[in-house]
Amino acid sequence: MLWLEMLFSVEADMQVRIADLVLEAEQGDITRQQDMDAVVNAANAQLLPGGGVAGAIHRAAGPELAEVCAPLAPISPGEAVITPAFNLPNRYVIHCLGPVYGQDRPEAQLLAQCYRRAMVLATEKGLESVAFPAISAGAFGYPLEAALRIAAETLTTLGRSGESVPRVRMVLFDESTRAVFERLVREVAGS
């Protein structure tokens, strides 16, 4: 049996099997991932509501999320913490602080560390599935393709090493971003 198996659903969303990991990609809303045990928040250092992903997650989860986050802050680039999800359809939110591009160094290592730390927290909680946004690719200015390549490489490596939950989904804002991630996963997983 091949270690890599490509599967496509009717919606053309990607699913790639890498050892015991199913890596998915879809265009969608991170706050509407009902079938995922946890969603990842592209957080700020203070774990406060903000714009983008952090704002959407805090609005959907409700004010209790900010209350439980307050004593956990601040976190540093590359770090992650886990909280209950409150009004989200998930059990947990994993808050990761990605690097600000051109400011937090070494940014590639810090970004990869976000994905690894999130996976460690998910594994410690016994989770089966986690949904990620494109960490640092928005307001933090990380070039989109470079950020997605780091995500693809890190998640593929974790899948191959058995250090991943069984199912990981990248939830991306638009169709073109999803297509870029799919291409990068094929490149990385095929090597």
74 Cα distance to chain centroid: 20
Express each pLDDT in 23-75 by its tens digit: 999 999 999 999 999 999 999 999 999 889 999 999 999 999 999 999 999 99
As a whole number of angstroms, the distance between CA 139 and CA 59 comes to 18
Domain layout of the chain by residue ranges: 28-168
pLDDT of res. 189? 86
Q: Please compute the mean of the pLDDT values over residues 73-89 and round it to a whole number.
A: 98
Report CA-CA distances (Å) from 123 to 62, 74, 120. 25, 23, 5
| Count of CB atoms situated within 10 Å of the CB of 71 | 7
pLDDT at 140: 95
Q: Give the pLDDT band of residue 12 (cuts 50, 70, 90).
A: very low
pLDDT value at residue 190: 81
**pLDDT for residue 191:** 57
Cβ atoms of 77 and 109 closer than 8 Å: no
| Percentage with pLDDT > 90 across the chain | 90
Name the fold adopted by 28-168.
Leucine Aminopeptidase, subunit E; domain 1 (3.40.220)
Mean pLDDT of the chain: 92
Beta-carbon contacts of residue 110 (< 8 Å; ≥ 6 apart): 77, 78, 98, 99, 104
Helix-strand-coil percent breakdown of the chain, rounded to 5? 40, 20, 40
Cβ atoms of residues 169 and 24 within 8 Å: yes
